Amino acid sequence: MPEKTLKFLIPGGEATAGPPIGPALGPLGVNVLQIVEEINRRTAEFKGMRVPVEVVVNTDTKTFEVKVGIPTTAALLVKEAGIEKGSSQPNRDFVADLSMEQIVKIAKIKMPGMRAKTLKAAVKQVLGTCLSMGITVGGKRAKEVLKEVDAGAYDDLIRKYEES
């Protein structure tokens, strides 16, 4: 069995040779510190967020490949809003307010991992997460903004991000 794939959930840019990485990779005979440095280099932009990472090790040649996933929508929203966590009562207590531009930016980042066919559909999924986290958009509840997206109010903004 020449290839072994291991999956980890690592704080961006803060991986260490300790658990869970070290004990999983050590028995394979690879340079664990080299893999940790590569993980930290590739996840630095997601500092403070938990990032899914996949390490594929060829057990014969001791070579490795690091694949970095995309953090969850909730983690991206928390970072963008500068909050610690979502609301415990999302329909009553609102913890942050984001602009529609920030929502579209997050949707564009998340789109490759979503089952959304269009950026507009991805924006609606991000708005759904805002709804469950108690985050308003442009001072309005996420449900209201969802209706506006359906009505085409933000089509120009979404089109601008599709082209970039």
pTM: predicted TM-score of the whole model, two decimal places? 0.80
Tell me how far CA of residue 14 lies from CA of 56, 62, 67, 78, 82, in angstroms: 20, 24, 16, 18, 19
* Residue range 3-68, CATH number: 3.30.1550.10
The residue to which tokens 């985050």 are assigned: 135
How does residue 78 score in pLDDT terms, banded at 50, 70 and 90?
very high
59 within 8 A of 29, measured Cβ to Cβ: yes
Strand partners, 7: 54
Span 81-109, average pLDDT:
94
Whole-number pLDDT of residue 43? 93
Whole-number pLDDT of residue 1? 56
Give 59-68 pLDDT, tens digit per residue.
Answer: 999 999 999 9
Q: What is the 3-state secondary structure (H, E, C) of the chain?
A: CCEEEEEEEEEECCCCCCCCHHHHHHHHCCCHHHHHHHHHHHHHHHECCEEEEEEEEECCCCEEEEEECCCCHHHHHHHHHCCCCCCCCCCCCCCEEECHHHHHHHHHHHHHHCCCCCHHHHHHHHHHHHHHHCEEECCECHHHHHHHHHHCCCHHHHHHHHHC
Give 104-127 pLDDT, tens digit per residue.
Answer: 999 999 999 899 999 999 999 999
Q: Which CATH superfamily is domain 73-163 in?
A: Ribosomal protein L11/L12, C-terminal domain (1.10.10.250)
For the chain, percent of residues with pLDDT exceeding 70: 99
Whole-number pLDDT of residue 135? 97
Q: What are the boundaries of each domain within the chain?
A: 3-68, 73-163
Whole-number pLDDT of residue 146? 96
User: Is the confidence at residue 47, as pLDDT, over 70?
Assistant: yes
Whole-number pLDDT of residue 91? 87
